[in-house]
């Protein structure tokens, strides 16, 4: 069904004028209202203010970070990510394909990609927070933070280090991968705990079942700790202020618009060189291409 109101979320600095012009023209030709609801990182104001609750569809112009901001604003309504740069993991089209993609959405010719999220409850913080990619707890100053991590009530590990990441399947290819954690393949329904630079001991990453529960007792040490959700700083935990975080997985939290022929997740990671073959394999390809055995 054709949307009546579209909410646009834009990158704070990237050049998005061409894509925005396409969106304005497409909406104007169909009498569709275009508004810009409040969202994180909205430093560019291009459309009239509007309420997210009134929108039927959200269009994110920028990249994966902008699409994440739109997902947080959309409240489960469909989000079409437009890559004003290189195609990412959450964006479906570039500016040149935006008009065609909107035509397909209006005709119902699209596929809903349902995304889970982390529900994060913390003592002393209300209400619970939601992360589509990851929760990061990281030291904010000198020294280390300490954490005790339990899974479904059972102690997994106690460690001191730079911090930790808890990530969804989507977020497993972001910060937690950079920290040496596992990537959950598409279709994986669990979530991942990864320590950041643990100091000694044996503290491996852990993949938990979709109905599991992480409980994290945090001692921020003398330097304090920083809490980040989907790459945005939420708060600082003051030094020596003990906190407990409970993290569970919420299924079907958000909806991304995808189209036939969208790039698979692993292919996208390889294209962006997040995943790279070993030098031995690349050297073998070079010899083969040169006709040498």
Q: Which domain holds residue 60?
A: 5-109
Asked whether residue 89 falls in the same domain as residue 172, the answer is no
Asked whether residue 130 falls in the same domain as residue 89, the answer is no
Asked whether residue 86 falls in the same domain as residue 150, the answer is no
Query: How confident is residue 293, by pLDDT bands cut at 50, 70 and 90?
Result: low
Q: Is residue 207 a part of any domain in this protein?
A: yes
Asked whether residue 77 falls in the same domain as residue 172, the answer is no
Asked whether residue 152 falls in the same domain as residue 85, the answer is no
Asked whether residue 64 falls in the same domain as residue 170, the answer is no
| Residue 293 to residue 290: CA distance in whole angstroms | 9
Asked whether residue 40 falls in the same domain as residue 129, the answer is no
Query: How confident is residue 228, by pLDDT bands cut at 50, 70 and 90?
Result: very high
User: Average pLDDT for residues 226-244, to the nearest whole number?
Assistant: 90
User: Average pLDDT for residues 260-274, to the nearest whole number?
Assistant: 85
How many domains are there within the chain?
Answer: 2
**pLDDT at 116 > cutoff 70:** yes
State pLDDT tens for residues 128-176: 899 999 999 999 988 899 999 999 999 999 999 999 999 999 999 999 9
Three-state SS at 139: strand
Asked whether residue 96 falls in the same domain as residue 128, the answer is no
Q: Is residue 277 a part of any domain in this protein?
A: no
Q: Is residue 282 a part of any domain in this protein?
A: no
Asked whether residue 155 falls in the same domain as residue 236, the answer is yes
User: Average pLDDT for residues 208-237, to the nearest whole number?
Assistant: 94
98: left (phi over 0), alpha (psi -120 to 50) or beta: alpha
Q: Is residue 195 a part of any domain in this protein?
A: yes
Q: What percent of the chain has pLDDT over 90?
A: 72
User: Average pLDDT for residues 100-116, to the nearest whole number?
Assistant: 94
**Is position 286 annotated as part of the catalytic site?**
no
Catalytic residue among 64, 134, 219, 230: 64
**pLDDT at 120 > cutoff 70:** yes
Which CATH number do you get for residue 53?
Answer: 3.40.50.10330
Which CATH number do you get for residue 188?
Answer: 2.60.200.30
State pLDDT tens for residues 33-80: 999 999 887 778 888 999 999 999 999 999 999 999 999 999 999 999
Looking at per-residue pLDDT, the higher value among 68 and 262 belongs to 68
Asked whether residue 51 falls in the same domain as residue 130, the answer is no
Q: Is residue 285 a part of any domain in this protein?
A: no
Asked whether residue 141 falls in the same domain as residue 93, the answer is no
What pLDDT does 1 receive? 67
71 closest CA partner among 131, 135, 129, 13: 131
Q: What percent of the chain has pLDDT over 70?
A: 98
**pLDDT at 192 > cutoff 80:** yes
Q: Is residue 30 a part of any domain in this protein?
A: yes
Query: How confident is residue 235, by pLDDT bands cut at 50, 70 and 90?
Result: confident
Query: How confident is residue 283, by pLDDT bands cut at 50, 70 and 90?
Result: very high
For the whole model, what pTM was predicted?
0.90
Pairing between β-strand 213-219 and β-strand 163-167 as defined by DSSP bridges: unpaired
Q: Is residue 98 a part of any domain in this protein?
A: yes
Asked whether residue 209 falls in the same domain as residue 168, the answer is yes
State pLDDT tens for residues 44-53: 888 899 999 9
State pLDDT tens for residues 2-42: 899 999 999 988 888 899 999 999 999 999 999 999 988 77
DSSP string, 247-268: EEEEEEEEEEEE-TTPPPHHHH
| Residue 269 to residue 196: CA distance in whole angstroms | 22
**pLDDT at 205 > cutoff 80:** yes
Query: How confident is residue 110, by pLDDT bands cut at 50, 70 and 90?
Result: very high
Q: DSSP code of 202?
A: -
């Amino acid at each position: 069904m054709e949307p009546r109101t579209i909410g646009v979320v834009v990158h704070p600095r990237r050049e998005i004028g061409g894509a925005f012009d396409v969106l304005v023209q497409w909406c104007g030709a169909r009498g569709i209202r275009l508004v810009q609801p409040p969202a994180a990182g909205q430093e560019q104001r291009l459309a009239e203010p509007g309420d997210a609750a009134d929108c039927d569809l959200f269009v994110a112009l920028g990249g994966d970070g902008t699409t994440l901001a739109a997902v947080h604003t959309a409240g489960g309504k469909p989000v079409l990510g437009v890559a004003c740069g290189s195609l990412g993991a959450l964006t479906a089209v570039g500016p040149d394909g935006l008009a065609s993609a909107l035509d397909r959405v209006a005709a119902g010719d699209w596929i809903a990609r349902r995304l889970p999220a982390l529900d994060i409850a913390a003592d002393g913080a209300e209400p619970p927070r939601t992360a589509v990619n990851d929760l990061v707890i990281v030291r904010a100053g000198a020294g280390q933070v300490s954490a005790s991590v339990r899974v479904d009530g059972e102690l997994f590990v106690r460690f001191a280090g730079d911090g930790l990441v808890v990530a969804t399947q989507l977020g497993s290819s972001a910060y937690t991968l950079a920290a040496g954690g596992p990537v959950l393949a598409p279709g994986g329904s669990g979530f991942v705990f990864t320590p950041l630079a643990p100091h000694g001991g044996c503290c491996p990453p852990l993949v938990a079942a979709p109905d599991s529960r992480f409980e994290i007792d945090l001692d921020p040490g003398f330097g304090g700790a920083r809490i980040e959700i989907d790459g945005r700083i939420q708060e600082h935990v003051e030094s020596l202020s003990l906190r407990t975080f409970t993290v569970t997985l919420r299924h079907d939290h958000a909806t991304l618009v995808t189209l036939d022929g969208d790039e698979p997740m692993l292919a996208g990671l390889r294209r962006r060189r997040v995943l790279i073959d070993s030098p031995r394999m690349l050297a073998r390809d070079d010899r083969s291409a040169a006709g040498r055995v």
